[in-house]
A and B are shown apart, each in its own frame.
Chain A
Amino acid sequence: MKHNKLTALLLALAMVLALAACSNNQGQTQQSPSASPETSEPMETPAETPAEGVDLTILFEQDDDMLNTYSLLAVNPDAPFVDADGNAVSDVYVNTEGAAALINWMLSQEALDLAGNYGYEEYGEYLFYVLDDAPVSTAEIPAATEDTAVIRMSTTTSVNDSGLLGYLLPFFEEEYGYTVDVTSAGTGAAIANATYGNADLILVHSKSQEESFVADGYSYVLDGFEAERLPFLYNYFVLCGPSDDPAGVRDAATVKNAFALIAEGEYPFVSRGDASGTHTKEISLWPEELGITTEADSVADYAGWYNYSNAGMGVCLTMAEEMHAYILSDKATYLTFRANNGVME
């Protein structure tokens, strides 16, 4: 009996150590030596060698077609909600006052300034820019009451993963006493979540999907605003790829040309494939004659080079790194990915 227990304990320890060892290896291959001066192994590593750290590089950015606009939409409590069988549901709970308070705060000059400066300290680059024509709110924000204290926000992975909300929301929560429950998914899923009555407001980045959300009556115009859809922040998507850039997209005139080059040479490309805002944007950049849509069967003929992955941004970036593939990413997640592997440009 006693020996059995000892063996079990040893086995368990071995398991933990094995896991640690694996991560050790990963650290050695992926982390830049410059980030770890105390390492004892002598490593010949000129700073430019792309083999160390992340090879995936930003090859194309700042094209108008790569604009990534984030909007806020309040969920309409009188929206035509239907249950899974398509029957109308009338008494769906929506915290309209809480949602209005949060939207008014997010669009206050104070919050816009905070958002606009976010990320500069950590990454040396601004991750989000405030739109010139963002609606600015000066409305008084009511303090939370028992009924309005919990606000459910459905947003996209890219906003959540960039850490923007984790940085912004505590300012709001502490000052006015609300709690914001943030759930994140691809834009398609984030919007679906709201149509199932699980959100009070959404923060997403896919104009076409937002417009159909509004057209279907799921959003409404808040007091003091002119439209349902309130675009306020933007940044850029970036086209990343292997640093040796076999398709030569670095020299492309426009991002659409760059995508055409990838398709022409059938260079590996990783697509999110999850109806997210990034996916929707990517679809709009391919040459039209390829007929690529968000549906998986539209890319069945291109399976040799087009990887329809159905995964989050970080997972896809790793995949692209492993496959020496091209990928469209939001800049914030790419920078986090890159920073984590110890190499900053």
Chain B
Amino acid sequence: MTTALEQAIQLVLSGDDQLVNIISVTLQMSIPSSVISLLLGVPLGVLLAFCSFRGKEVLVILNRTLMGLPPVVCGLLCYMLFSGVGPFRHFRLMYTIPLMVIAQVILITPIVIGNMESFAQRITPAVRETAHGLGLGRGRIFLLLISETRYQVFSTYLLGFARSIAEVGAVSMVGGAIAYKTNVMTTAIMNYTNRGDFTLGVALGIILLAMSLVLNLTVSLIQGRLSR
């Protein structure tokens, strides 16, 4: 009896070109979107914790609200902006990987910011005290703070990547799940399920989990090195 696990292994071993394409599209989307979100979110999050100014609370609350932005709402927004009649139609990005990345950056950046902000908030007083003792300027203190959060950056990255790889609402809307072009793991699972092909859906799910496992192991290895 061919179980989903066997089918998953068979699929991987056979190097089925559609599967290879789905995995490659998934990575072409997830890696840029998680990295861009990290590059935007880490400095912004730490800055938000580091600086004190009027209206900061408002920004924090706004960001926390955006952390809960439903992916389908984000997808709808991007769809309306970039569709053939939308204001950004001239970019011709509808149903392309770059638009999927844009939608995911909108989704993930607030999560990165929120995560970094709440972590940096906790260590800022201690870092500030040390830095004052050493007589460092504001710029140096900020850099020191960033370097103190590096351990957190990895787990935040994993969070962002997990969100990106697991997300289906926004990417199916702006990507259109076009075979060999914008079909990622999650939209492919949806497609197979819609077709009543559950075994293949579960097989893809197992592969998705396995990919996540490999990434997590790699990152925790690097993280372990760094914290030593």
Contact = CB atoms under 8 A, between A and B. Distances in A.
B3 A197 contact: no
Given A336-B196, A340-B199, A19 B179 contact: no
Interface string B194-221: 1111110011011001100100110010
Contacts of A166: 179
Contacts of B92: 93
Contacts of B176: 181, 183
A121 B224 CA distance: 56
A183 B84 contact: no
A83 B86 contact: yes
A89 interface: yes
Contacts of B85: 81-84, 89, 92, 196-197
- Range, interface on chain B: 35 or more
B204 to A, nearest CB: 11
A182 B179 contact: yes
Nearest to B217: A9
Given A81-B85, A313-B194, A12 B179 contact: no
A317 B209 CA distance: 27
B209 A183 contact: no
Nearest to A87: B85
Nearest to A4: B220
Nearest to B95: A181
A49 to B, nearest CB: 18
Interface residues of A, number: 50
B89 A318 contact: no
A20 B5 contact: yes
A31 B2 CA distance: 10
Nearest to B200: A340
A36 B1 contact: yes
Given A81-B84, A82-B85, A333-B196, A183 B1 contact: no
A209 to B, nearest CB: 19
Interface stretch (A21-29, A237-245, A261-269): A21-29
Interface in B156-181: 176-179, 181
B100 interface: no
Contacts of A68: none
Nearest to B181: A181
Nearest to B194: A312
B4 A23 contact: yes
B4 A24 contact: yes
A23 B3 contact: yes
A27 B179 contact: no
B87 interface: yes
A27 B1 contact: yes
Interface in B63-93: 79-80, 83-87, 89, 92
B107 to A, nearest CB: 21
Interface in A258-309: none
Interface of B: 1-5, 8, 79-80, 83-87, 89, 92, 94-95, 176-179, 181, 191, 193-199, 202-203, 205-206, 209-210, 213, 216-217, 220, 224
14 contacts: A1-B224, A12-B209, A16-B209, A19-B202, A23-B198, A28-B1, A38-B1, A84-B80, A93-B92, A94-B84, A182-B178, A313-B194, A318-B198, A337-B196
Given A23-B3, A94-B84, A182-B179, 12 more contacts: A19-B4, A20-B8, A24-B3, A36-B2, A83-B87, A92-B85, A93-B89, A181-B95, A183-B176, A312-B193, A314-B196, A336-B196
